[in-house]
Amino acid sequence: MKIFQRTQRSLFGEILDWMLTPLLLLWPLSLALTWLVAQTLANKPFDRALEHHAQTLAQLVSVAHGQVQFRLPQPAYEMLRADAADTVYYQVLAPDGALLAGDASLPQPAGDARPDQDAVDTVWLRDDELRGVDIRVAAVWVPLALPAEQGRPALALVQVAETREKRGMLATEIVKGVMLPQFVILPLAVLLVWLALARGIQPLSQIEQRIRARRPDDLSPLDERTVPLEVAPLVASVNDLLTRLADSIATQKRFLADAAHQLKTPLAGLRMQADLAQREGTSTEDLKRSLQQIGRASVRATHTVNQLLALARAEASGARLAHQPCNLARLTMEAVRDSVPRALDKHLDLGYDGAPPTAPGVWVQGNPTLLKELVRNLLDNAINYTPSSAAQPGVVTARVLADPLSQVVLLQVEDSGPGVPEAERELVFQPFYRALGNEADGSGLGLPIVREIARQHGAQVLLEDAHPDRRPPGARFTVRFAALPVPQDPPAGNAL
């Protein structure tokens, strides 16, 4: 199957095309407009000369003894015929249409073109045709001292016409004078546009050189002040990408360092116990004790690895996991049910005391996997740090409280343990922090996982004493979420 790939376009060529294409399209239009202007300019001087000839001939029309006469002196006739480029025609008609002088075939004005009294002696110009040749005609009606016929004054018609050769030649010369320099200016303009465009996109090349000159570990932001305004949004996006990439790399480095640090101790213990078990002369009791130590160390290493993977998933994968409406009460009850066996082994009273899953205000927007991990880590922390015995069992309680008025839902996990001093309440959310003098088993990663998942869901984590008036006061972790209305179609697995 043929795979079609999108052709890579050049920004330089794209801009150049959009600048030169209109220029090349407008050039023929400029030619046409120049030709029209040249025709107008060429007509004006020749029209004035034609009007002068018509007025001169009109002055030669006279009335003698009741007869219309026209006498053309030889100098005037020679003046009319002296034009070497054009042929000049003239015609003089009496009021009754009789030809007094000139060319009889010269066309008459169309229709009844006699002007009003106010327009008499005015020269009228028109385009016409004589024996298949285009001509320009100047006509003037000359009033005569004769009696009016049928209420109309006696008017003689004088017309002077010439062919359009001189006009065409002058228009052509004007066009040549205007357009020929453009054949030099147009390539020069293209060259100047090319150079200006190359100079204009030079900052892009400078940015490219700065990026290529960087070291592989240099993820510092690019300087937005040295780039054009049009490129600033692109540089800002690159800086945002560099920041996120630096955070991701820092997270990976921290994860590797944490994993190496936390796995070093249990793995060393495993190796030591294995060496002790392999020594000669080891008794059965010592071998059994070594195997028990190996089992405990492997369980601790497994728990540490799981916690590290959960922290890595919370820090790096939370943004990629889809969020959906989740029933926080149902997720909490499922996490409590999963933690019951561990609580029974430690003689703890673990239970859920809160809003039922059918309550309307227990829905939140989030990822069910991460939310369940958050609840599980809070329960594991409470189970690990709550002392208990068969004679005096400890108590761990989980609850979800809905507040429909303020659109808030609270997740609380409290225990009857020793509590956390105020000076250490911020420190317990740091990775691998362990309270001094505490023998509880744990990796110090559960609460950092809780805070990271809460941050990704826009929630707040609060640590306080569960019972300030008792000793020990216990600890209460409260996670504050923004509540959602009950969805019309609850997702599978969270349905009511």
The single-letter code of the amino acid at 297 is: A
Joined together, the tokens standing for residue 254 give 């921290």
Predicted TM-score (pTM) of the model is 0.47
Between 435 and 127, the more confident residue is 127
Percent of the chain with pLDDT over 70: 80
C-beta atoms surrounding 463 within 10 Å: 17
pLDDT: which is higher, 340 or 269: 340
Q: How far apart are CA 353 and CA 339, in angstroms?
A: 15
CB 450 within 8 A of CB 462: no
Contact 328, 409 (CB under 8 A): yes
Distances 160 to 100, 339, 423 between C-alpha atoms, Å: 14, 118, 116
> Which comes out higher in pLDDT, residue 108 or 121?
108
Q: What is the pLDDT of residues 403-431, one digit of tens each?
A: 877 889 999 999 998 888 888 888 888 87
Does an H or E element contain 412, and which? strand 408-415
CA distance 323 to 471: 41
More confident residue, 308 or 3: 308
Half-sphere exposure of 146 (CA within 13 A, CB side): 22
316 DSSP 8-state letter: I
pLDDT of residue 478: 93
Checking if the pLDDT of 344 tops 80, the result is yes
pLDDT-based confidence at residue 349 (cuts at 50, 70, 90): very high
What span, in angstroms and rounded, lies between the C-alpha atoms of 270 and 265? 9
- Among 214-218, 261-265, 390-394, the range scoring the smallest mean pLDDT is 261-265
| β-bridge mates for residue 134, sequence order | 129
pLDDT band at 266, cuts 50/70/90? low
Residue 26 Cα to chain centre, angstroms: 31
pLDDT band at residue 496 using 50, 70 and 90 as cut-offs: very low
Q: Which pLDDT score is estimated for 296?
A: 67
Sign of CA dihedral 115, 120, 126, 131: positive
Q: The tokens of 40 are what?
A: 């107008």
Q: Considering the chain, what is the average pLDDT of its residues?
A: 79
Length of the chain: 496
Residue 43 vs residues 36, 85, 86, 123: alpha-carbon distances, Å: 11, 15, 14, 15
List, in sequence order, every residue forming a beta bridge with 70; answer none if it has no partner.
Answer: 61
**For residue 99, which amino acid is it?**
L
What is the share, in percent, of the chain residues with pLDDT greater than 90? 12
Cα-Cα-Cα-Cα dihedral sign, residues 277, 280, 286, 287: positive
Q: Which amino acid is located at 427 in the chain?
A: L
DSSP per residue, 154-223:
-EEEEEEEEESHHHHHHHHHHHHHHHHHHHHHHHHHHHHHHHHHHHHTHHHHHHHHHHHTS-TT--PPP-
Sign of the four-CA dihedral 97, 48, 123, 43: positive
- How far apart, in whole angstroms, are the C-alpha atoms of residue 92 and residue 102? 6
What residues contact 277, with CB distance under 8 A and at least 6 apart? 286, 287, 290, 291, 294
pLDDT at res. 4: 47
**Cβ-contact 301, 266 below 8 angstroms:** yes
Tokens representing 287 are: 């071998």
Model confidence at 442, pLDDT cuts 50, 70, 90, reads low
Range with the largest mean pLDDT of 49-58, 74-83, 354-363: 354-363
Q: How far apart are CA 140 and CA 32, in angstroms?
A: 34
Which ranges constitute the DSSP H helices of 71-146?
74-81
Mean pLDDT in residue range 465-477: 88
More confident residue, 33 or 301: 33
Per mean pLDDT, which range of 289-303, 349-363, 447-461 is the poorest?
289-303
Q: Which of 344, 405, 27, 340 is nearest to 181 (CA)?
A: 27
Q: Which tens digit of pLDDT belongs to each residue from 166-178?
A: 877 887 887 777 7
Q: For residue 30, count other CB atoms closer than 10 A to its CB.
A: 13
Cis, peptide link before residue 266, omega less than 30° from 0: no
Banded model confidence at residue 462, pLDDT cuts 50, 70, 90? very high
452, with CB counted inside 10 A (0-12, 13-18, 19+), is buried
Q: Distance between CA 380 and CA 449 in Å, rounded?
A: 12
Quote the CA–CA distance of 446 and 473 in Å, as a whole number: 21
Residue 192: pLDDT band (50, 70, 90) is confident
Question: Cα(279)–Cα(287) distance, rounded to whole angstroms?
Answer: 10
| Type of residue at 493 | G
Looking at residue 315, what DSSP letter applies?
Answer: I
* Model pLDDT for residues 82-94, shown as the tens digit of each residue: 566 678 888 888 8
Please check the confidence at residue 1 and state whether its pLDDT lies above 50: no
